[in-house]
């Protein structure tokens, strides 16, 4: 038994890592690259992902190496893991060459994809270095200072801060919703405190809502609401209602999908 490997990425990264791995380890069996191109949607990528999985000899033990958490490749892999009953399907994000090489070194003697994933995780961390060594930061645990009272301030429902209106930094109609480009590029450019995804379908789907929330960049909250809720909070100044999930008026980046 050999653990199968599927590399998934935006653009040709997965193919490049696969090719580089072959230069070092030679041709490997049951390793496939799936790439997302600009003209593809989530369903197109899912189709290619399904084809790659069908080509793996042993589909009970499968390791997915994905480029970016929150991007379309990751979201489609995550949905696969949640939908199926495969206990030994594992995904690791942050795809790079050291990760693949660690997988190659480990999988021949491994009984599960989970064992290979553990080795891949360690290999990815060891593979990142800075030269000269003096520039390597020392890892330290940063503890946020506690408030004077030792407790958080809780606002009552209906409380309005400022003028009570959403400060919209960016609005976009995009069927991919909160994807990698939003989390890594646009969020840095507009510096939002909150991302609001407006979709009737996703608002009713707990799994997809979870993926959206997890895809939000550090320090930015994400909410998924139906179109009717957007209309309500947009027209009504005091939008800190109990059911909206939207807090006091903030600089908010809004991705809209009808």
DSSP per-residue string spanning 125-139: HHT---SSGGGSPPP
Angle formed by the axes of helices 72-83 and 42-55, to 10°?
Answer: 60
- pLDDT at position 81 over 80: yes
Give the per-residue pLDDT at 236.
Answer: 64
* Residues belonging to the active site: 10, 179
Superfamily of domain 4-126: Phosphotransferase system, mannose-type IIA component (3.40.50.510)
The stretch 23-32 carries a mean pLDDT of: 94
Region 170-192: what's the mean pLDDT? 72
Model confidence band, residue 22 (pLDDT cutoffs 50, 70, 90): very high
pTM: 0.63
* Residue 76 DSSP symbol: H
From-to residues of CATH 3.40.35.10 in the chain: 167-256
Per-residue pLDDT tens digits for 216-229: 777 788 888 888 88
Q: How far apart are CA 219 and CA 216, in angstroms?
A: 8
- Ramachandran sector of residue 224 (left: φ over 0; alpha: ψ -120 to 50; beta: rest): beta
**pLDDT value of residue 248:** 39
Q: Where in the chain is the domain with CATH 3.40.50.510?
A: 4-126
Residue 201: predicted pLDDT: 86
Domain 167-256 belongs in CATH node 3.40.35.10:
yes
Name, of 83-97, 160-174, 229-243, the range with top average pLDDT. 83-97
């Amino acid at each position: 038994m050999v653990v199968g490997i599927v590399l998934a990425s935006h653009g040709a990264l997965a193919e490049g890592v696969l090719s580089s791995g072959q230069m070092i380890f030679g041709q490997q069996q049951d390793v496939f690259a799936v790439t997302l191109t600009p003209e593809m949607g989530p369903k197109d990528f899912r189709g290619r992902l399904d084809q790659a999985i069908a080509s793996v000899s042993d589909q009970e033990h499968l390791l997915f190496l994905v480029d970016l958490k929150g991007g379309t490749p990751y979201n489609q892999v995550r949905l696969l893991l949640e939908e199926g009953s495969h206990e030994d399907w594992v995904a690791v994000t942050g795809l790079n060459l050291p990760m693949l090489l660690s997988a190659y070194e480990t999988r021949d003697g491994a009984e599960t994809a989970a064992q290979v994933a553990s080795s891949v995780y360690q290999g990815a961390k060891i593979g990142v270095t800075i030269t000269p060594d003096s520039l390597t930061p020392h890892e330290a645990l940063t503890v946020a200072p506690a408030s004077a009272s030792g407790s958080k301030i809780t606002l009552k429902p209906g409380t309005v801060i400022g003028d009570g209106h959403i400060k919209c930094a960016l609005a976009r109609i995009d069927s991919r919703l909160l994807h990698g480009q939003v989390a890594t590029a646009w969020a840095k450019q507009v510096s939002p405190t909150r991302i609001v995804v407006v979709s009737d379908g996703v608002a009713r789907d707990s799994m997809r809502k979870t993926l959206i929330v997890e895809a939000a960049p550090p320090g930015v909250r994400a909410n998924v609401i139906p179109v009717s809720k957007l209309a309500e909070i947009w027209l009504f100044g005091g939008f800190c209602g109990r059911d909206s999930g939207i807090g006091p008026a903030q600089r908010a980046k809004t991705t809209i999908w009808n």
